[in-house]
Amino acid sequence: MTPEQITQRLTDRIGDGLLSTEPAGDSRLYCTIDPNVVVDAADEVFNGAGGRYVITAGTDDRAENDAFLVSHFFAFDNDDFYVTVHVRVPADNPRIDSITPTIPGAGWAERELQDLLGVEAVGHPDPRRLVLPDDWPEDVHPLRNDFTTQDKPPASPDGTPKMKDAPEGSVMVPIGPYFPTQHEPEAFSVFVDGEVVVDSDYRGFYNHRGIEKLGSCDLTYNQIPFIAERICGICGFVHSCAYCMAVEEAAGIEVPRRADYIRTIFLEFERLHSHMLWTGVAGHIIGFDTLFMQTWRMREPVMWLCEELTGNRKTYGMNIVGGVRRDISRDDFAKIEKVLADIEREWTALQEAVPGDSTLTARLGDVGELTPEEARQLCALGPVARGSGLAMDVRVDHPYAAYDELEVEKCVEDGCDTLARTFVRLRETPVAISIIRQCMAQMPEGEIAAEITEEIPAGLQGIAAVEAPRGESFHWVLTGEENRPARWRVRAPTYANLQAIPPMIAGDVLADVPIDIGSIDPCYSCTDRMAVIDRRSGAMRVMSVDEMMKR
């Protein structure tokens, strides 16, 4: 499939509904369509042409075009290009047909569009709030330009959470907002018949921090990388890298090749320590604390090394638009190789031991099952998708940084269960070591940052995707005035993978639910308030921020 073929397919399907197309090189296609044909267009790209749905973004474009811009993003992994379908929705009637019945994985994005921008997704099968608290006023939408980062609207008196009804004959078991083996606040309502899970519901976004809003209101282009790095407590470098690459693409900034290699090294350091962290946490969830202690002990030298190279264990502060802030000298290579060799030796022993451990395989095998078709329909990413047999990895499918010059193995398993997702991460760790070694062997000399002498023009757009340890992190930037974006859209991998939890846990016993959820390596802060339940009556209400502060 090529961008030209997609254009032809859309022309054949929606005719004059395709208002314009704008190719950007061989790897980007931007289409603008009539709002009345959005479902047909999405169906053609996703089901007809076989594209992968990525995310939807909403932009307040009332000042320029008296409309809201709704943008649906799709990826064609085998052919290395992205398709963006733009739709302008009239400001006086902010409604658009929902694509969720056609693409189930678009469910959250369209609910977020309703919450934050006030554009109704007509026909959405579950139009409840997703991001905003239930006591947030109905007519206040934070991503509109007339809402500032300092605004604090009064709470609505009707703040009862809209929870899913329990299926007949089932009992609701709450998991969260605080739970011993899920280390961030999240709330799952698990409906069980006896011990067997029959359905579930999710409420998150307790940590929603309005970072996208800050990026288009208060921060300049080169301040945002340091905020982007705080989107995730584990893979922050991923987000700062993806943001910078999106701006660089929009503005046509050529990054020095040495900076590409340095970025790649730190991206793989993050994969190393993230997979070791997850393996330890997974062991802890199932009561195997020896595994937890061993893998976290193995992880610590990577953290020390990153601190020595950047000044920080985790938030490196390395990325800027145009390159990186610090170099890596050849004197550092010996230190890096020493850490890699130690990890490789210990990880090899661990990788050989896990398949033969009957307790581990019994706990992880045949639970958390997600079929390949479910993974595609719900747009699963990273080890979740690869554990269900989907051979997708952005490093190979859409190369960025230095990956176009490196050998990268896609680690794919067809078990479709928690054990398969475990094997994917076990196999990916030595691959990360290999990539870092290739970078050290092939790193070119030269500058580490491009010199940017002109202001970035407004109205340009750029896309960047980075394969985080959990899957594809996707950033879209629309450039604006005053040295800042007009819109910055972030989609972390957990945002997509959480939507795959209901079919994963359905049919499993309650005791398997924590490791099923844990198998996606959830980062709730990446995707992102408190519900109080009266123990006597079972009534639920929302506690305001002021009330929590007083308590």
Q: Is the pLDDT of residue 158 over 50?
A: yes
**Cα–Cα dist 473/181, whole Å:** 24
The SS3 of residue 420 is helix
Q: Work out the mean pLDDT of the chain and round it to a whole number.
A: 90
Q: Which pLDDT score is estimated for 86?
A: 98
How confident is the model over 234-258, as a mean pLDDT? 95
Q: What pLDDT, on a 0 to 100 scale, did the predictor assign at position 179?
A: 66
Residues in Cβ contact with 289 at an 8 Å cutoff, skipping those fewer than 6 apart: 283
Q: Specify whether 236 is located in the same domain as 103.
A: no
- Is 549 inside any structural domain? no
Could you tell me if 519 and 372 lie in one domain?
Answer: yes
For position 82, what pLDDT does the model report?
A: 97
Same domain, 151 and 229: no
Distance, CA of 263 to CA of 320 (rounded, Å): 11
Task: Identify the CATH number of the domain in which residue 148 sits.
Answer: 3.30.460.80
Same domain, 140 and 267: no
Among residues 141, 159, 177, the one where a domain terminates is 159
Pick from 383, 389, 381: which is nearest to 415 by CA?
389
Q: CA separation (Å) from 462 to 45, 74, 191?
A: 20, 14, 42
Same structural domain, 397 and 308: yes
Same domain membership, residue 223 and residue 101: no
Report which of 82, 88, 81 is spatially closest to residue 67, judged by C-alpha positions.
Answer: 88
**Residue 354, domain CATH:** 1.10.645.10
**Both 220 and 94 in a single domain?**
no
The number of distinct structural domains making up the chain is 2
Residues 6+ apart with CB under 8 A from 80: 26, 27, 397, 398, 399
191 occurs within a structural domain: no
Q: Work out the pLDDT band at 548, boundaries 50, 70, 90.
A: very low
Whether residues 251 and 132 share a domain: the answer is no
Among the three residues 159, 182, 197, which one is the final residue of a domain in this structure? 159
In this prediction, residue 531 has a pLDDT band, given cuts at 50, 70 and 90, of very low
Average pLDDT over residues 504-526: 87
Q: Are residues 131 and 266 in the same domain?
A: no
Token pair of 445, please?
């000399």
pLDDT class for 437, splitting at 50, 70, 90? Answer: very high
Q: Which of 121-135, 195-209, 533-547 has the highest mean pLDDT?
A: 121-135
Which pLDDT value is given to residue 15? Answer: 96
Looking at the structure, do residues 154 and 279 belong to the same domain, yes or no? no
Range of the domain at 154: 3-159
* List of long-range contacts for 98-102, beta carbons under 8 Å, 24+ apart: 98/39, 98/122, 98/123, 98/124, 98/125, 99/38, 99/39, 99/42, 99/43, 99/72, 100/124, 100/125, 100/126, 101/125, 102/39, 102/42, 102/43, 102/46, 102/47
Angle between helices 257-285 and 418-442 (to 10 degrees): 150
**How high is the pLDDT of residue 535?**
42
Q: Does residue 371 lie in a domain region?
A: yes
pLDDT value, residue 524: 60
Clarify whether residues 264 and 154 are in a common domain. no
- What was the pLDDT predicted at 346? 94
Angle at 165 between CA 168 and CA 493, to 5 degrees: 120
Q: Which pLDDT belongs to residue 497?
A: 95
Residue 243, token pair as written in the block? 């943001």
Could you tell me the pTM of the whole model? 0.92
425 is a domain residue: yes
* pLDDT at res. 165: 86
- pLDDT at residue 540 greater than cutoff 60: no
User: Could you read off the pLDDT of 6-32 as tens digits, one per residue?
Assistant: 999 999 999 999 999 998 888 999 999
Q: What is the pLDDT of residues 456-496, one digit of tens each?
A: 999 999 999 999 999 999 999 999 999 999 999 999 999 99
